[in-house]
Each structure stands twice: as C-alpha cells, then as structure tokens.
Chains A and B, each alone.
Chain A
Amino acid sequence: MKESPNNQKLERLLRSSILVAGGFMGSETRNFTEVIDADSAELARLRFTNEQLAERMRQITKSAIAGLGAWVRIDGNKEAAVQEAKGSLVCPWPHAGRYAKRITTLRDVRTGESIRWSDLNTHMIGEHGFFGGKGSMFRIEPGEIVRIIFQA
C-alpha cells in the first residue's frame, strides 16, 4: 500500500537519528505502519491494549521515581529504578510533545530478567501503538514487556 506524504515524512524522521542516536527504526525493513500493525496484533493476541500497557508503565515509573535512582520494590517480586538525564526527548509524531529523559528499568528479582523503557516509549506505545523498530536502542517486544509487567 502506498504511504501518504505525511507518513512518508514520519518514516524518514523515524529512520533518521535527528532525535535519538541510531533513530527509532534500527535495522527494521518494514515501514513503521507495518511495525505498528504487527505489534498491535501481537498485543491483541495477548489480550492487552496499548492504553493498558502504557498506563501500567506509567504507574511503575511513578513508583520508581521515589527511589531517586535506587531500586524500589514493585509488586513483591519486582523492583524498578529510574535514571534521569538533562534535557528532553521529542515525540517524532507531529504534535506538541516533550518528555523527560527518564529511563525506567524493571527487573524480576527471582529470575534477574529485566526490561527498560523511556517516558517517550510509554507515550509512543500509549498514543501511537509504536514499540520501535527491530534493532533500535529502545525497541520493546510486546510479548516480553507484557510478561514482565503483568506477570505476578
């Protein structure tokens, strides 16, 4: 399917490294709408929505902020910490949106498995259904994050 001029422009921006090192698409060969469609289908198969996932990510980040960089216990078997840097990240979609450079790491203390996301990831998942292209620095696999975030 032919992409609209706006989508083509967004595709170029997502593949550029204007906003983050290496861009948002990594080594992805599909275009961003195909990435979004595939991840949405995967999330639907897991019976979750983008909004549910983003809301839970936001809750965890909010709890972790209280640790001022140290690990904070979440849900008994997990702990989370945030790392914040000067400046902000700008959403590549065409709307007003600046997000703190804050990275949340969530780890399962039993297995050692961990996953991390930025505030911009949370926004892009919740608002645009975008989990990043394969091979990009902040690509999040829907199945992986659902397992770590929602599993007791």
Chain B
Amino acid sequence: MFLAVLIAVGVVSSIGAGLAAVLVVSEHFFANYGQCKITVNEERDFTIEGGKDLLSVLTGEKLFIPSACGGRGTCGLCKLKVLEGAGPLLPTEEPYLEKDERESNVRLACQVKVRQDLKIEIPKELLAIQEYTCKCTDIQDLTHDMKQFRFELIEPKTIDYIPGQYIQLLTPAYEKSSEEVYRAYSISSDPADKGAIELIIRLVPGGICTTYCFEYLKEGDQMKMNGPYGDFRLSETEAPIVFIAGGSGMAPIKCILHHMKNTDNQRKATYFFGANKVKELCLSDSMSQFESDLANFKYMPVVTSVEEGESWDGEKGLVTEAVERNLKEAEKCEAYLCGSPGMIDAAIKVLKKMGVTNDRIFYDKFE
C-alpha cells in the first residue's frame, strides 16, 4: 500500500516536472517575438528584439522614464501612453492608474512586455532628458550628516536645466548593494555653470545611494546621472517671495538664488531655513553673499533648540513659527517650499492661515 502511494507520488511529480520542462523549452523556442518596432510620439522609431519590458527597452535607447522600484511594478512612476500594441491592462498596473488614465491608454512601462510593434507617447520634457557621465571633483562637509558634491560633466560636457529641477544619480553596484540604483537629488549649483552639477545630499541611514556617496565615493571617481526632471521653478511674476526649506531642501533654493542673481531679479524675497541645532545650519557664508548681491533678499535661519554652550541670537523655534512671526503681507506672497513632507504640510497650513492661496504655494516634497 505504502509502496503504491510512493509510486503514485513519484509519477505525479515526474509528470509535473516534465510539463514544467516543456513550458521552459516552449518559451525558449516558440515565445520568440522577433523584431518589434517602437514608435515614439510619431516622430522617432527604433527596432528591438521582442520579449523585454518596455521600461528597460526605453532605458536602453537612452529614453529615461522616472522609476523608483527598479521595474518591479510597485512604485507606479513609470507611466506613459501606449497607443497601440500593449495588450490588456495587467492586474499589477490597475492599482496605480486612475480611471481617466486607463481610458487614455496610460500604462506602467515596466509592466508592458514588448511582444509586437508599439506606438507610445512620452511627455516632451522627458525626451529632453540625457544621460551624463561626470567626475566627482569636490566633496565638502556641510553638517554632520550633509555633504555637498561637485560633479564636472565629461559627456555631454554641458547641461541646461531650470533652477529648481533635479537629476537622478546612478549608484553603481558596491559592497552594500548588488544592483545599480537611481536616486533623485535637487541641483544646488549656479545654473550659469553649465559644465558641472552640485548636489547637497543628506545621509539616510541604510540608504543605498547616500551610503555610497558618503562612504565610498571619492574625488576623481566617475559617476553617471540623468536629467533634468521636475516642475519646481520660480514663476515669472513680481510677487514677493517666501522660501521655506530645511535640511537638503536648501539645494533647489540655493540654485534659484543663483539664478536670481544672474538675472538681476529684484523681487523681494525672504528665505526661512530651519535647522534643529545651530550646528545643523549650513552655507551661511553663501547666504550672506546672496544678501549682498540681491538688494531685496533676506536670509532668516531658524534653530529649533539651542544647546548648552552654543551661541545663537537668531530666530528660535520651528521654522513655521518663525514664518508666522516674521512674514509681512503674506497674502501677496508666492511661497516656495522644499523639505520633508512633514515640514511642507506644516508650512502649507501656516501659509494658508496667513492668507496665501493654494495657487501661490509651490513645493518640492521629498516624495
């Protein structure tokens, strides 16, 4: 009896294994999709070997679509329109797509397998994105957990971006990460300096890219980045400006201040920068220089708590409290915020209370 059961189990297992083998062999020999043509925005097309996911195919063609999960279908960022050839919507895509997006053929590029010719539509701003090879030429400590990195561009040699935008830095595989990963960082440098990019990076415990930059990256090392991305930018109105930032949120604001100086922008501007401790304030000299260079600019650093032995006669408390105390005629202002989601949410609440309308609040949330 026992032997009969064993034989039956063995037979069933063998049949299962055989079928699995047949499937693998079939996939190899018959799931050959051949050459597939991909047409982008009806302006450009290229041919690739079918069978790969659309996101990696586009990356291979130097068409960079933002993605945060490495193509696993879990971040929902790599959206684009596939007008023809994508096949039915997958269950893995559904949670990320709104009704109107589904109706207009928006798909997640990482989930669409290229099995036939495709017609796709990529937003124009993403077509302008390029990949840059660069060399790290300077690393400066700003605080105990923030550094400023300067990357000189090797190929292409120059970059054009709108002050406030960000790039994606490619971290190579290293001891603590077996995979290459991209992470987004706002550009902090002077946009007139087209041959280089500066980034302000705050160490994230366990962060793949920040750990690499802080512990492994050395001056002289080559890196790759792509960009620019993002809608955060200064408007062209004459409204007074209030900047509110904390931590590495300093980066895009600094870049915008460079731009204001370069264009002799006379708009009235006040910059509230929040830090928990005096020693977490950074780039004070640069900010003083901007105060000298920009006639109507005022820098207002704010420290949450002053430790024993520290000297500080500036603004104290939360950055939002300092805004409430000091910002005059808020309702006339445009607000530009960059920092943690918590800080931005709190700042928006305060600004609205002070009469700043939604359409005058612009932010680069760390999301």
Contact = CB atoms under 8 A, between A and B. Distances in A.
Nearest to A68: B343
Contacts of B319: 68
A109 B208 CA distance: 31
A82 B342 contact: yes
Contacts of B72: 90
Interface in A100-124: 100-103, 116, 118
Contact of A69 (B178, B208, B211, B246): B246
Contacts of B137: none
Interface string A10-36: 000000111111100000000000000
Contact of A101 (B204, B276, B339): B204
B275 to A, nearest CB: 8
A85 B177 contact: no
Interface string B295-335: 00000000011000000000000111000000000000000
A87 to B, nearest CB: 6
Contacts of B246: 68-69
Interface string A74-113: 0000000111111110110001111011110000000000
Contact of B208 (A20, A66, A68): A20
Contacts of B69: 19, 90, 98
A68 B320 contact: yes
A68 B366 contact: no
A68 B342 contact: yes
Contacts of A67: 304, 318
Contacts of B178: 16-18
B340 interface: yes
A96 B207 CA distance: 21
A102 B176 CA distance: 20
Interface in B7-50: none
A87 B183 contact: yes
A98 B320 contact: no
Interface in B236-269: 246-248
B227 interface: no
B207 A85 contact: yes
A118 B204 CA distance: 11
Contacts of B179: 16-18
Name the residue in B183, B318, B340 with the highest tally of chain A Cβ atoms < 10 Å from its Cβ.
B340
Interface string B184-199: 1110000000000000
Contacts of A138: 206
A33 B294 CA distance: 60
B342 A21 contact: no
A137 interface: yes
Given A69-B304, A87-B366, A90-B75, A101 B181 contact: no
B95 interface: yes
A118 B207 CA distance: 12
A104 to B, nearest CB: 11
A152 to B, nearest CB: 25
A96 B74 contact: yes
Contacts of B343: 68-69, 84
B156 interface: no
Contacts of A91: 74
A65 interface: yes
Interface of B: 68-70, 72, 74-76, 95-96, 176-179, 181, 183-186, 202, 204-208, 210-211, 246-248, 274, 276, 304-305, 318-320, 339-343, 346, 366-367
21 contacts: A17-B178, A18-B181, A20-B206, A20-B207, A21-B176, A21-B177, A68-B246, A68-B340, A69-B246, A69-B274, A70-B304, A84-B340, A85-B202, A85-B248, A88-B68, A90-B68, A90-B69, A98-B74, A101-B207, A102-B340, A103-B204
Given A85-B340, A103-B204, 18 more contacts: A17-B178, A21-B176, A21-B206, A21-B211, A68-B342, A69-B247, A70-B318, A85-B202, A85-B210, A85-B248, A90-B68, A90-B72, A91-B74, A96-B76, A98-B75, A103-B205, A118-B206, A137-B206
